[in-house]
A = this chain, B = another copy of it.
C-alpha cells in the first residue's frame, strides 16, 4: 500500500515527511500534478461496474487499488508544465487526475471538497464560534456606514483580505493593517471589506493539528505589532501547552469541517486568552518544527501510513 504526496518539486515541508516515511519503510510516490501530461501519465477504466486506475510517475506505475492515503501539500496547477499549457488543458487534466483519485478508497489529508469549503473565511468565523473558540468581533460589509460604526465602537480595528493574496507578479502580500476610526470608509462600497477588532497581543500562537494529535507553539510579540508573519521580530517559536478549551474546540472544528489537518492561528492577549484568527487547512509546518523540534512531520507520516484494519 502506497502513500501519494501531491506537491511541487521545491517543498521543504514535504521533504521532511518523505524522510520520515522512508525511515518508517512506507512506500510512497511524490507527484506534481503540473507534470501531467508529461512526466506523469494516467489511465482509468470504467468497465462493467469495475473501476481500475493507474498513475505513472517517471516510469513508476501505481495502481489506485494500492493507494493507502493521499496528501495534498502544495501541488502545481495540473498541466502547468505541459508543452502547450492552457486553462482548458488544466481543467481536463485536473478532472482526470482528481476524479480518478476520488474513485479510490484512499484517505485524504485533506479531501478536496472539505479543503475548498475550509478556505472560506466567513465560514471559518462561523465554525470557530460553533466550536467554542474565542473569536474577535468581525464584520464583512459593503456598507461604508456600517464599517465606520464598527471602527468607532471598537476603536482599534484591523482590515484583512477575505480570500487571500491578490494575484500579481511579483506576488504581493497584504498584511493585516490597523485602521484608525477616522479613516475614510467610502471605498468599502467598491468591494466587501473585512474588519476585525484588534487584539493587543503578547504572542502569536500556531497550533498544528494532525489527526488526533496537536502541536502548539508560541512566539512572543513586540508591543504594538500587528501582523507577525512578515519580517524578523527577534523572537523564536517555542512549544507551549494548549488550554483544554482550545484543544476541545480544535477537535470540534476539524470534525465539523471534515479536515484531517489544520494549522490554527491565534493571538494571545495580556490575560492569556487565545483568540481564533484563522485555520489554514494547508498551512505549512516546516518552520515550526525546525524551531520547536516538535515531531510534526513524524505525526503526518504516521497518519498517512495508518491503514484501517
With A87-B167, A103-B122, A113-B117 already in contact, the answer to whether A140 and B191 are too (CB < 8 A) is no
Interface residue tally of chain A, by bracket? 35 or more
Fill in one digit per residue for A129-160: 1 if any B CB lies within 8 Å of its CB, else 0. Answer: 10000010111111100100000000000000
Contacting residue for A142 out of B43, B102, B191, CB 8 A: B43
- Cα–Cα distance between A117 and B125 once the two chains are bound (Å): 24
Copies in the complex: 2
Residue contact A126 to B140, C-beta cutoff 8 Å: no
The distance from the CB of A170 to the nearest CB of chain B, in whole angstroms, is 15
Chain A, interface SS category: mixed
Residue contact A138 to B46, C-beta cutoff 8 Å: yes
Chain B residue at smallest Cβ distance from A196: B46
**Which residues of the other chain, B, contact A286 by a CB distance below 8 angstroms?**
none
**Which residues of the other chain, B, contact A116 by a CB distance below 8 angstroms?**
113, 116
Residue contact A92 to B191, C-beta cutoff 8 Å: yes
Residue contact B47 to A137, C-beta cutoff 8 Å: yes
The distance from the CB of A44 to the nearest CB of chain B, in whole angstroms, is 5
Q: Is A36 an interface residue (CB 8 A)?
A: yes
Residue contact B166 to A126, C-beta cutoff 8 Å: no
Fill in one digit per residue for A43-70: 1 if any B CB lies within 8 Å of its CB, else 0. Answer: 1111111110000000000000000000
Residue contact A44 to B141, C-beta cutoff 8 Å: yes
